[in-house]
Amino acid sequence: MERFRALVVDKTENQFTVGVQSLSLDDLSEGEVLIRVAYSGVNYKDGLAASPKGRVVRSYPIVPGIDLAGTVAASSDPRFREGDEVLATSYELGVGHSGGFSEYARVPAAWVIPLPKGLSHREAMILGTSGLTAALSVHRMEENGLRPGNGPVLVAGATGGVGSHAVSMLAALGYEVTASTGKAQEHDYLRGLGAASILNREELYPETVKPLTKERWAGAVDPVGGAALPHILSAVRRGGSVALSGLTGGAEFTAAVFPFILRGVNLLGIDSAYCPLPLRQRLWERMASDLKPPRLEAMVHAETTLDGLPDALQHILQSGVRGKVIVKLK
């Protein structure tokens, strides 16, 4: 087989490098399904994988890219055949197993999902892990009783990948969405995705966090975490839920027990990486139907190639991306 191009991150004692290299299949991790990658997308975790301080990569060198969509080139597993359109996200992709920033990827069959009818490779990668995380957040909150009539739902970090998809999906389902952002110039973008109101990010960081405040949110999607979370919890309505997925605002928080024991508030941990396959498949089917954001293209911050990736990966760690950067492979 011909050689192909991929982004490679390597770390030795003295050097950290991120660059495009020419690889052969022997350079890829093992797996039953060889995929010719059409599109990938950039997630915050990919930024961490390409950063010397990221702590997400399990062994170097690594081809990063936690998301990929493409066409099966060969498969030793009978569930997949040459020519099938597929996608794969997370598990160990791009951190412990060579990932999607490559013209070819070799992936365990257990990680591969048929591309749902109603989604192109490109649309699947606008969604990618950030879409799956938003969909899983909505699903978990619905499982815990969230319904459109219950009251406003807060989305923190609303202009990011997870946040943009959450605003869009919730609005399309009929929820009243309040989008929180620190980016004053992006209010029109968020209203375009369906936000009914905008909350300035600073309002989630009051000088004094009270253990309980006036009940406000029926639910909250939180990819930001950190110091804002205790304040969000203090304002969740009785029986409401916070779906916590991220740490862009900090990895730690200190909160009072009162929202949990006096209002029955649920703090739901969202792990898209190991979301079990049956649920993952159901959520991808929903993302191709009732959860498909009506304005997916509006979420594309930029389309890039392997050569543009090093810059895009730095950019996402600096909160510089609105929606998604997608990557066209071939």
Ligand X SMILES: CCC(=O)SCCNC(=O)CCNC(=O)[C@H](O)C(C)(C)COP(=O)(O)OP(=O)(O)OC[C@H]1O[C@@H](n2cnc3c(N)ncnc32)[C@H](O)[C@@H]1OP(=O)(O)O
Residue 162 contact partner, candidates ligand NAD, ligand X, none, CB within 5 to 8 A by sort of partner: ligand NAD
304 near ligand NAD, judged by CB under 6 A: no
Residue 201 contact partner, candidates ligand NAD, ligand X, none, CB within 5 to 8 A by sort of partner: ligand NAD
Q: ∠ CA 242-323-125 to the nearest 5 degrees?
A: 100
Binding mask 137-166 for ligand NAD (x = CB under 6 A): --------------------x-xxxxx---
56 near ligand X, judged by CB under 6 A: yes
- Which span (14-22, 93-101, 127-135, 232-240) binds ligand NAD, by CB under 6 A? 127-135
For 294, phi then psi, to 5°, come to -60, -25
Residue 56 contact partner, candidates ligand NAD, ligand X, none, CB within 5 to 8 A by sort of partner: ligand X
CA gap 134, 139 in Å, rounded: 9
CA gap 45, 42 in Å, rounded: 8
233 near ligand NAD, judged by CB under 6 A: no
Single residue of 70, 223, 259, 293 touching ligand NAD by CB under 6 A: 223
Alpha carbon of 222 to those of 78, 167, 219, 244, 247: distances in Å? 39, 11, 10, 5, 9
Single residue of 28, 224, 235, 287 touching ligand NAD by CB under 6 A: 224
Write out the DSSP string of 14-71: S-EEEEEEEE-GGGSPP-SEEEEEEEEE--HHHHHHTSTT----SSSSB---SEEEEE
197: closest CA among 224, 181, 214, 177? 177
Single residue of 4, 39, 44, 253 touching ligand X by CB under 6 A: 44
Single residue of 45, 97, 140, 201 touching ligand X by CB under 6 A: 45
64: closest CA among 255, 314, 318? 314
CA gap 316, 303 in Å, rounded: 14
Determine the residue type at 283.
L
- Closest residue to ligand X, judged by C-beta, is 45
Q: Which residues bind ligand NAD (CB under 6 A)?
A: 43-45, 129-130, 133, 157, 159-163, 182, 201, 223-224, 245-249, 270-273, 316, 319, 321
Q: Which residues bind ligand X (CB under 6 A)?
A: 44-45, 48, 55-56, 90, 129, 247, 272-273
